[in-house]
């Protein structure tokens, strides 16, 4: 890591101001930031690291008027183990509990999980070896290179896979990201190359509306290993039922997409249908419609289709 100054921010305003002044980076759990610094993956290094963990009142889980509110610095372990979250927002609890490893979940925060940097192996090459499109360069080296695990949906110049687990159920649950400047639906938070946090902006809270009673939810994830690994492909489904048929639903893909990828075509295919193998197959086929394979990642279309199909079937 470069030689940086370290500041313990006392308030959100102080952190925002330091970040906005430039050459400073915010540190929550540190499990992503430090790995970027250790390998010098970015073109510039921060002069100052601003610790957020001393700021009071950013670590909480509460339900207010039916809305789940989670402070930005809440640890993933706490979200996974919270009876509040497990109750009505179970797919979020599940996702938080599948991130990496117990130690990472003990250290990592929800905001950090949402804002973490790409894990594309070209992006992560040390010393900014590939100054790629995502970092302000010209091309995405994954396109002519090894793209076995890269995005099949959402690629716009950059084909980085999306590393966050929790963003996927949060999108399916219609969450709102609250920052020191604005509130924004999570569906609008991510861009093709990152997120739309401004220079002096940081996440302070995540709000999740209560799903209707009787809602079924699932978070399903595939990775080569069952711990440590980022999701290769994942899906969150939130469905309200009408008898044995699905009334309404949200289906959001993650992993081999560039950002949380809501598949409305698949949702429409599932609405009004019973949950069975045949219908699930049709919905899953819709979910991967429009997928654009690169030379080595066509398998992810089949894998994602299977993942979605089985997730639907298990909702029954």
Partner 1 sequence: MADELTVIGKPGNIDQQAVECVTGTIEFPNDLFMGQKLHAKILGCPHAHAKVVSIDASKALELDGVEAVVTHEDVPGWSEVKFHVGDAVAAVAAKDENTAAHALTLIKVTYETRAHVVDPDEAMEPGAPLVGLFPDGNTTLRTDIVRGDVEAGFAQADVTIEDESGWTNRWQNAPMGGGNTTAWWQDDILHAWVDTQNPHGEHSGFAGFFALPHNKVRVFTHAAGGGFGGGRAAVQAVAAALAKKTGKIVSLHTDKRDNFFRGVTHFACKSKIKLGAKSDGTLTAIDAQFWGDGGTNPSPPYNALPDCLQIGFRCPNANFKVTGVITNAPPSGYYRCVQHPPGAFLMNTALDAMAEKLGMDPLDFRLKNILTIAEPDQDSGVAFSFNTLRECLLDSAAAIGYASNKHAPGARTLDDGRKHGMAVTGHLDGHGGYGSGRGAIITLRPDGTCFINAGIARSSCGTNTAHCHFVAETLGLKYDDVKTGDWGATAVTADGGMQAGSTNTNQAGAAFTIAARDAREQLFKAAAKMFDPQVNPEDLDARDSKIFLKSNPSKSITHKEVCARNQRIIGRASAGWNPVLQFDVGPWKAGTPANQRVPCAAGAEVAVDTESGEVEVLKWTAVTDIGRVIYYDGAHAQAWAGLYHMFWQAFFAEHIYDRETGISLNPNFLNHRWPASLDIPYDALQEVLREGVSGLGPYGATGAGEPVASQYSVIACAIYNAIGVWIKEPPFTPWKILKALGKA
Partner 2 sequence: MPEEEKVIQDGQISRRQFIKNAGIVVGGTAVGSTILLSGCGNGETVTKTITTTVAGGTVTKYACPYDSQEFDTLAALKTHLESQHGEGGGGLEGLITLNVNGTNYILKVEPQWTLAYTLREKCLLPGTKVPCWRGECGACTVIMNGRTVYSCLVLAIEADGAVIRTVEGLKVNGELSALQRSFIKNRGFQCGMCTPGFLMTGVALLEKNPNPLLEEVAEAVSGHICACGNMNRNIQSIYEGGS
Shortest gap between Cβ of 1 and partner 2 (angstroms)? 5
Binds partner 1 by CB under 8 A, chosen from 7, 40, 47, 273: 40
Q: Where are the beta strands (DSSP E) in the chain?
A: 5-8, 24-27, 48-51, 61-64, 67-71, 176-179, 183-185, 190-191, 194-195, 203-208, 216-222, 233-242, 245-254, 261-262
CA torsion through residues 284, 285, 286, 289, sign: positive
Site string for partner 1, 97-136 (x = CB under 8 A): ----x-----------------x-xx--xxx-x-------
Site string for partner 2, 51-90 (x = CB under 8 A): x-x-----------------------x-------------
Rule CB under 8 A: is residue 107 a binding residue for partner 2? yes
Which 3 state secondary structure label does DSSP give 34?
helix
Binds partner 1 by CB under 8 A, chosen from 14, 53, 131, 145: 145
Interacting positions 179-218 with partner 1 (CB under 8 A): none
Single out the segment in contact with partner 2 by CB under 8 A; choices: 47-55, 201-209, 237-245, 269-277: 47-55
Return all residues near 258 (Cβ < 8 A) that are at least 6 apart: 151, 153, 154, 155, 156, 158, 159, 160, 161, 162, 192
Residue (105 or 262) nearer to partner 2, CB: 105
Residue (70 or 311) nearer to partner 1, CB: 311
Do 26 and 15 touch, CB atoms closer than 8 A?
yes
Cα distance between residue 81 and residue 102, in whole Å: 12
CA torsion through residues 165, 168, 174, 177, sign: positive
Binds partner 1 by CB under 8 A, chosen from 175, 307, 311, 312: 307
Rule CB under 8 A: is residue 129 a binding residue for partner 2? no
> Helices (H), strands (E): how many in the chain?
11, 14
Total residues at interface with partner 1 (CB under 8 A): 35
Which ranges of the chain would DSSP assign to H, the alpha helix? Answer: 12-20, 33-38, 76-81, 83-88, 90-98, 102-107, 110-115, 167-172, 264-270, 277-287, 299-314
- With CB under 5 to 8 Å by kind, the binding choice for 301 among partner 2, partner 1, none is partner 1
Phi and psi of 168, rounded to 5°?
Answer: -70, -55
Site string for partner 2, 228-247 (x = CB under 8 A): x-------------------
Which 3 state secondary structure label does DSSP give 85?
helix
Shortest gap between Cβ of 311 and partner 2 (angstroms)? 22
Interacting positions 169-228 with partner 2 (CB under 8 A): 226-228
Phi and psi of 61, rounded to 5°?
Answer: -130, 120
Binds partner 1 by CB under 8 A, chosen from 269, 301, 312, 315: 301
Which residues would be at the binding site for partner 1 (CB under 8 A)? 1-3, 38-40, 101, 119, 121-122, 125-127, 129, 141, 144-146, 148, 222, 224-229, 296, 298-299, 301-303, 306-307, 309
Which residues would be at the binding site for partner 2 (CB under 8 A)? 1-6, 8, 27, 30-31, 34-35, 38-39, 49, 51, 53, 77, 100-104, 106-107, 226-228
């Amino acid at each position: 890591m470069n030689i940086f100054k370290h500041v313990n921010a006392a308030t959100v305003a102080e952190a925002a101001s330091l970040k906005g002044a430039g050459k400073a980076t915010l540190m929550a759990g540190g499990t992503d930031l430090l790995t970027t610094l250790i390998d010098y993956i970015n073109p510039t290094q921060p002069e100052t690291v601003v610790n957020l963990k001393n700021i009071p009142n950013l670590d909480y889980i509460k339900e207010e008027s039916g809305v789940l509110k989670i402070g930005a610095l809440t640890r993933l372990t706490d979200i996974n183990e919270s009876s509040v979250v497990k109750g009505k927002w179970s797919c979020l609890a599940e996702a938080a509990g599948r991130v990496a490893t117990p130690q990472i979940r003990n250290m990592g925060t929800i905001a950090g999980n949402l804002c973490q940097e790409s894990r594309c192996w070209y992006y992560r090459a040390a010393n900014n070896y590939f100054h790629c499109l995502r970092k302000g360069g010209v091309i995405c080296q994954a396109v002519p290179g090894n793209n076995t695990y890269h995005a099949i949906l959402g690629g716009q110049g950059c084909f980085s896979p999306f590393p966050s687990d929790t963003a996927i159920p949060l999108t399916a649950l219609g969450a709102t990201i609250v920052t020191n400047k604005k509130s924004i639906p999570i569906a609008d938070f991510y861009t093709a190359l990152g997120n739309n946090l401004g220079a002096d902006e940081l996440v302070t809270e995540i709000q999740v509306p209560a799903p209707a009673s009787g809602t079924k939810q699932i978070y399903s994830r595939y990775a080569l290993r069952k711990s440590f690994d980022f999701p290769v492909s994942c899906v969150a489904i939130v469905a309200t039922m009408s008898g044995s048929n699905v009334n309404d639903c949200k289906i959001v893909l993650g992993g081999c997409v560039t950002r949380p990828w809501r598949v409305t075509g698949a949702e429409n295919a599932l609405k009004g249908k019973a949950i069975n193998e045949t219908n699930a197959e049709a919905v899953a086929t819709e979910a991967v419609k429009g997928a654009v394979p690169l030379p080595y990642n066509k398998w992810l279309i089949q894998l994602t289709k299977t993942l979605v199909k089985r997730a639907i079937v298990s909702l029954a």
